[in-house]
Structure 1
Amino acid sequence: MQLEEHADLELVETGGKDNSLVLRNFLFVIFRNKWKVLLVFLLTSVTATLIVLSIETDIYESQAQILIKPGRENISWDESALAPNLVFAKEGGLNAEISILTSGYVLGRVIELVGQEAILPVLRDDLDSQEQRDQLAERLVLENLSVIPEKGKQQIVTISFKSHDPRIARDVLENLIDVYIDRHIDIHKAEAQPKFFRKQSDKFKSLLIEKEKQLRQYCDKQGIVSIEVQKEEGIARISGLEQNIEETDGLIISSQGRIAMLEKSLDERTEVTELSKVTGKSNPVADSLKQRLIDLKFREVELGNRYLDDSRILVELRSQISFVEAELLKEQETNTELTTGIDANYQAIQLELEQEQAKLQALLLNKQFLKKSLEKRKNNLKKLSNYEAVLLTLQREVDIAKEEYSQYRKSYQQSMISVALDSSRISNVLILQPASLPAFPIESKKKRNLAMGLLLGLVGSVGIAYIREYLDDTIKTVENVEKQLGLPVLTSINYKK
């Protein structure tokens, strides 16, 4: 214990004072134990070399690239839907494809094709069942498998596999891609068969024909050629009739005012008017009566000479004379001749009034006719509106049936194409670069492990030398003598000399 403390003290002092002394002591220890250091170094290096050569092998990596394009495999066929659904969407869809690529089914098929002995060249004794060996082989394949999407090119995937044998690495990768493509086609093949879509297509074709027939029958029954055109024409005619009624009302008011004015003019006039008047004209009646009176008087004188005064003839004659005289007294000596006739202005106004009244009557009848026509047009427009609601319903049913028929027909054609492609094993997965056969290992553990073995031998041999030096308590140097005995050394003599 005492020697150990002095040794520690010596090292500390030496390290603090002179670095060359430390190096000299280090080399002194190595040189004094050189055979032991050499022996330990050789044994460690040879052992590490033998272990590396017998166990460690080089690692080879085979690489391939595939292109996964969105295509028919990425369309989901659902029998409850009228059209296929696109399910492939960039990163999410690519992750799904990578999951398929690294699935247990695909890896299991690859192990079957390549052979389990190629994956597990050395069988472990603790693996009792085939299932355990399969799980171990699958785990080893998954550990050595790398699937990386290209940055910026999300549809391109780089696949690599590492193995101690370059041919095994290539075979595993080739079979992996082949099995993946087959699995990809099986998973994404059309679920709905063409028979279903053909049946639905025929069904909706019959429905479309029936709906179109109902629409034609309804149009023929109601006399509908084009509901929009007929509505526009009806609205235009209603607008025209309303405008005509307004114009007729204006004409009626104007005619009524003119009739009132003409009637007032007639009231201020008489129908008969004086045409001419002649005064001082002899009265032919009076002249005739005078001549008659003279004749009667002459006859009275002639009969008075022949008959008595009371004779009947004279009495009658004198009675006639008295009557003529009385009548003559009634007559004037001269007459005023007055000529009258119908007033031409009155007659013209009367004619104009009758014409205006006839015109007013015609306007009233025309207004009544226009109102009836307007009411009829409005009723027809209402009927067209009611027809339009039914027509829209029928047309909508036709459009729906047409769309469903078109979609099912298109789906039927697509399903036929999909089935044909499935049967031909055509996929949208393209192999950009097939699995390569690596010529050189990507990493060599032999060199690394040999270097580590040499380093371990060197460190171990130096360590052994220092341990032995530490456990040796004999005095070997002049410094040890001076430190341990406290006496100066006058000289030293080599033991061999």
Structure 2
Amino acid sequence: MASFDIDPSESSHPNDPQGGQLANPNTGHPVEHARAAMSRAPHNNGPHLSPEQSPLWVDNGGLKFSSLSSYLEIPFIHKWLIGLCTALGLMSGWFAIIAWPRTYESEAKLMVRVGRESVSLDPTATTGATLMLQKTQEEEIVSALEVLNSRQVAEIVTDKIGADAILAGELPAEGPAEEPGLLGRAKKTFKDGLYNVLLFAGLKDDISNHELAVMRVGSSLWIHSPRKSNVIIVEAQAKSPQMAQEIVDQATKTFLEMHLQNAHTVGSFDFFQEQAEVAEQALNGLVDRRAEFMQDRKMVSIESSRALLQERLTGIDRDLVLATGQLEEAASSVKDLRTKYAGTEDEIVASKIAGSDSTWSGMRQQVYELEVAEQNLAANYTNDHPKLKRVRTQLTGAREILAELESERVDENRTPNPMKATLLEELQRQETRVVGLKSMIAEKKRQQFAMQKQTDDLLEDERELTQVDREIRMAETSLKVLQEKLEEARVISQLQSNKISNVAVFQPATLMERAVSPKKPALAAAFLLLGFTGGLGLSVLRQATSSSLRTSDDVENQLGCPVVASLPRISRVDSPRLNDQKRLQESCQTLVSDILLGQRRAGGPHGRSVGIIGVDEGAGASTLAMKLATASATDCRLRTVLVDGDTRQRSVSRSFKLNGKPGLVELVSGSASHDECLQSATGVPMQLISSAADSCDDSLNNNAPEIVQSLQAYLEDCDLLIVDLPAASQPDQAIAVAQHLDSVLVIVESEKTQSAAADRLLRRLAESDTEVIGVVLNKTRSYLPVWLRRCVGSQA
């Protein structure tokens, strides 16, 4: 008997808030109230298949994966396949590590310090009018790398080690060479024969051993420098550590020799020695020429002669400026004296005698009397009175006359003016000075002209002497430069003789006995990854090409039929856990509601008949039929009759331990009545019809209409008639019987039921008037871990 369980998270129906109490005991027929209550419950199982509708299992493209969890479950479904492929990958990696040829490496490190090669140029390059350039450290490193990577270095290393040793990958052993064994001779014969065949076919060129060895050295050497560093790393790989060390050692020595040769110009010392002697002779000739020129001119130096002339010219200029200023001053004095002399009087007043004037006194007395009379009249009369006006007119006239008169009288005595005589004397003296200054200025100008002539002669001599001095300085500079370059050439020649360079080998070629290839961790990881990805690819391919139905999405996408319930697999069906029992009860309640909400045949009896049919044996159809009948009778309080229509398996009869009363076989054959076939279940308020009595070994051979007709009488007294039909894969009349029932539930076993078998069953059912309620996906399994399932659920 198949076992099953459900999971509300995978079921397409929500929990019923009524807790199974769907009928109202205080009202009418329980079926109607159950239908009314169930109609109010939410349904997410999609539309039911009816005869009027087109088939829902039309091919929709065969989609295998339609959700993220479907993809994530693939590694967990086929974990053993992936594990096997991973183990094979690890084993293959182990064999590869054993069989892979070993490669050894040697390394040397060179330090390129700041030396003469990087702080100066070759003496022959800086002799002319060129700039003193300084190479940067990066240029020095790049140049050294180019030298080390040149073919010349590879050829020299090949000549030193030997082409045969390089091609063999090992240094020749000391003493006489050993004769190769039989295996060695066979291997050599095979290689020679293969080489001749490829050479004859034109696939290989005829290359000498020396050229092959040079190519081998060039490909085995790896020379590089870390970023922002003055260290050069020389690495080589070979079949033996000794050969790798020898290649690196010879490459390093060859580079040092070439570096010394490239930093020196041949013949530079002799060249600069000869040029220095020529420059010294030219300088001595110029010095003698300058001495003869100074003797001919009778001068000590141009500077002293120039200073003497400059001093004389300065004195003359100073005297000329002073005389000119004095002349201007004297001329101005003469002009001023003449003006003053012309404006000075010939005679001046010698003495003055002052006295009082009687006319002014009388006039002043008269004015005083008029003022007193005016005040008296002004006190007695108005301003317009004739007397007052007359007195005021007289007072005004008297004041005017008094103002014109002087109060005192002065008597003067005159004599000749002595100032005019003094001005005349000073004027004569200044005129005489003007004449003297003019004469001195003329003499100074003559002297100035003579000194300028001497200055012009001195400048001409100075020009000639300056030219000679310039030639002497140029000769001295040239001689100094040649002497410096001669010293540099001598130092470079001496450094080359002593093999002194700015390149230091601070790490000679190393002898590393540990092979660098194959890299065992990387190789193992690569084969491990290859095995895992191969197993994962096979898992995806296997899952994609699988014709079985595993998830609700597979059923709906490939069959086009709705999944009304998804029941997970559990290990204990007879005594399930409380949580599993509750979920199973809720799923069965939902299925009962789907059955009652379906369409009833026109003119049919009161109750409804539903067939539970599995696509394959062991799909759990019998177990679902028993649980569905129990939920209908117990939770929904429906009058339920469960018929065991599987006469081969008889799972329902064994599960409920029915007695030896007749069953469906006897009922259809007419050997037993309807009441004789009914049996009551223990502990469950429902009735059962077994497949056949214990003593009956006959099978159900009647046709489908007769079988269904025999069960029609029970529909008058029950609300729901559940028929446990044999699997569709059995040669019984399960499909034919299902075509004559009101509705059918198709049971599909997850991961075992083939889509072609389920499709054939649904197409057969579509040919009748039977309503296909949907598909129940039984024994589903969730391969995702709980934490991953929660993550996927949260994303959804």
Distance in structure 2 (CA, Å) of the matches to 1:185 and 1:488: 97
The match for 1:349 is none
Superimposed CA distance per residue, residues 73-130 of structure 1 (whole angstroms, 9 cap, x where no aligned partner): 7522337934895452332333222211221111222233344456544798446312
1:385 aligns with 2:462: no
Structure 1 residue 455 displacement after superposition: 6.3
Alignment equivalent of 1:421, drawn from 466, 475, 495:
495
1:175 aligns with 2:417: no
Alignment equivalent of 1:98, drawn from 145, 164, 182:
145
Go from structure 1 to structure 2 and tell me whether the alpha carbon gap of 1:16 and 1:412 turns closer, same or farther (over 3 Å shift): closer
Alignment equivalent of 1:198, drawn from 267, 270, 273:
273
Distance in structure 2 (CA, Å) of the matches to 1:41 and 1:156: 45
Structure 1: segments with no counterpart, 5+ residues: 259-352, 491-497
Alignment equivalent of 1:133, drawn from 184, 197, 212:
212
Matching of residues 98-177 of structure 1 within 5 Å: 98-117=145-164, 119-121=166-168, 125=195, 126=204, 128-130=206-208, 132-142=211-221, 145-151=222-228, 153=229, 155-177=230-252
Give the secondary-structure state (helix, strand or coil) at the position aligned to 1:75: coil
Task: Confirm or deny: 8 A CA contact 1:83 1:411 kept in the other structure.
Answer: no
Superimposed CA distance per residue, residues 440-465 of structure 1 (whole angstroms, 9 cap, x where no aligned partner): 45564345435555665787799899
Task: Confirm or deny: 8 A CA contact 2:90 2:527 kept in the other structure.
Answer: yes
Task: Confirm or deny: 8 A CA contact 1:66 1:431 kept in the other structure.
Answer: yes
Task: Confirm or deny: 8 A CA contact 2:164 2:213 kept in the other structure.
Answer: no
Matching of residues 8-87 of structure 1 within 5 Å: 49-57=94-102, 59-72=104-117, 75-78=121-124, 81-82=127-128, 86=133
Task: Confirm or deny: 8 A CA contact 1:52 1:446 kept in the other structure.
Answer: yes
Alignment equivalent of 2:313, drawn from 238, 251, 275:
238
The match for 1:283 is none
Structure 1 residue 393 displacement after superposition: 0.9
Structure 1 residue 246 displacement after superposition: 5.3
Distance in structure 1 (CA, Å) of the matches to 2:531 and 2:312: 115
More relative contact order, 1 or 2 (CA 8 Å, 6+ apart): 1
Go from structure 1 to structure 2 and tell me whether the alpha carbon gap of 1:362 and 1:103 turns closer, same or farther (over 3 Å shift): same
Give the secondary-structure state (helix, strand or coil) at the position aligned to 1:431: strand
Distance in structure 2 (CA, Å) of the matches to 1:13 and 1:208: 101
Task: Confirm or deny: 8 A CA contact 1:215 1:391 kept in the other structure.
Answer: yes
Superimposed CA distance per residue, residues 26-70 of structure 1 (whole angstroms, 9 cap, x where no aligned partner): 75xx69xx9xx79x977x876664454233325535241322424
* AA of the residue aligned to 1:129: I
Give the secondary-structure state (helix, strand or coil) at the position aligned to 1:438: coil
Matching of residues 327-476 of structure 1 within 5 Å: 371-438=445-512, 440-441=514-515, 444-450=518-524, 452-453=526-527
The match for 1:486 is 728
Distance in structure 2 (CA, Å) of the matches to 1:211 and 1:230: 22
* AA of the residue aligned to 1:185: L
Distance in structure 2 (CA, Å) of the matches to 1:129 and 1:186: 31
Count how many residue pairs are aligned between Structure 1 and Structure 2: 371
Bigger mean CA offset, 446-455 vs 234-243:
446-455
Task: Confirm or deny: 8 A CA contact 1:66 1:156 kept in the other structure.
Answer: yes
Structure 1 residue 395 displacement after superposition: 0.7
Distance in structure 2 (CA, Å) of the matches to 1:391 and 1:241: 28
Per the normalisation by structure 2, the TM-score is: 0.39
Distance in structure 1 (CA, Å) of the matches to 2:476 and 2:503: 36
Structure 1 residue 237 displacement after superposition: 0.9
Structure 1 residue 232 displacement after superposition: 2.9
* AA of the residue aligned to 1:424: N
Bigger mean CA offset, 423-432 vs 395-404:
423-432
Structure 1 residue 146 displacement after superposition: 3.0
Distance in structure 2 (CA, Å) of the matches to 1:398 and 1:360: 56
Distance in structure 1 (CA, Å) of the matches to 2:309 and 2:78: 124
Structure 1 residue 202 displacement after superposition: 0.9
Distance in structure 1 (CA, Å) of the matches to 2:518 and 2:233: 23
Distance in structure 1 (CA, Å) of the matches to 2:235 and 2:291: 67
The match for 2:666 is none
Distance in structure 1 (CA, Å) of the matches to 2:152 and 2:140: 19
Go from structure 1 to structure 2 and tell me whether the alpha carbon gap of 1:366 and 1:70 turns closer, same or farther (over 3 Å shift): same
Which structure carries more helix by proportion? 1
The match for 1:494 is none
Task: Confirm or deny: 8 A CA contact 1:252 1:363 kept in the other structure.
Answer: no
Distance in structure 2 (CA, Å) of the matches to 1:385 and 1:252: 35
Give the secondary-structure state (helix, strand or coil) at the position aligned to 2:225: strand
Alignment equivalent of 1:189, drawn from 264, 268, 276:
264
Go from structure 1 to structure 2 and tell me whether the alpha carbon gap of 1:107 and 1:66 turns closer, same or farther (over 3 Å shift): farther
The match for 1:322 is none
Give the secondary-structure state (helix, strand or coil) at the position aligned to 1:169: helix
Task: Confirm or deny: 8 A CA contact 1:62 1:166 kept in the other structure.
Answer: no
Task: Confirm or deny: 8 A CA contact 2:158 2:214 kept in the other structure.
Answer: no
Superimposed CA distance per residue, residues 147-198 of structure 1 (whole angstroms, 9 cap, x where no aligned partner): 11452x4x33344344454333333222222111110111111244222111
The share of aligned pairs that are identical, in percent, is 16
Go from structure 1 to structure 2 and tell me whether the alpha carbon gap of 1:18 and 1:186 turns closer, same or farther (over 3 Å shift): closer
Structure 1 residue 480 displacement after superposition: 6.1
The match for 2:302 is 227
Structure 1 residue 373 displacement after superposition: 4.0
Task: Confirm or deny: 8 A CA contact 1:482 1:489 kept in the other structure.
Answer: no
Per the normalisation by structure 1, the TM-score is: 0.58
1:209 aligns with 2:451: no
Distance in structure 1 (CA, Å) of the matches to 2:510 and 2:163: 21
Task: Confirm or deny: 8 A CA contact 1:65 1:157 kept in the other structure.
Answer: yes
Structure 1 residue 389 displacement after superposition: 1.3
Give the secondary-structure state (helix, strand or coil) at the position aligned to 1:427: coil
Go from structure 1 to structure 2 and tell me whether the alpha carbon gap of 1:428 and 1:83 turns closer, same or farther (over 3 Å shift): farther
Task: Confirm or deny: 8 A CA contact 1:61 1:442 kept in the other structure.
Answer: no
Go from structure 1 to structure 2 and tell me whether the alpha carbon gap of 1:11 and 1:479 turns closer, same or farther (over 3 Å shift): farther
Go from structure 1 to structure 2 and tell me whether the alpha carbon gap of 1:50 and 1:396 turns closer, same or farther (over 3 Å shift): same
Go from structure 1 to structure 2 and tell me whether the alpha carbon gap of 1:217 and 1:149 turns closer, same or farther (over 3 Å shift): farther
* AA of the residue aligned to 2:299: I
Task: Confirm or deny: 8 A CA contact 1:120 1:137 kept in the other structure.
Answer: yes
Distance in structure 2 (CA, Å) of the matches to 1:251 and 1:422: 84
Task: Confirm or deny: 8 A CA contact 1:79 1:192 kept in the other structure.
Answer: no
Task: Confirm or deny: 8 A CA contact 2:107 2:233 kept in the other structure.
Answer: no
Give the secondary-structure state (helix, strand or coil) at the position aligned to 1:416: helix
Superimposed CA distance per residue, residues 241-269 of structure 1 (whole angstroms, 9 cap, x where no aligned partner): 23335556759998xx99xxxxxxxxxxx
Distance in structure 1 (CA, Å) of the matches to 2:207 and 2:512: 34
Distance in structure 2 (CA, Å) of the matches to 1:456 and 1:50: 14
Go from structure 1 to structure 2 and tell me whether the alpha carbon gap of 1:481 and 1:376 turns closer, same or farther (over 3 Å shift): same
Task: Confirm or deny: 8 A CA contact 1:110 1:175 kept in the other structure.
Answer: yes
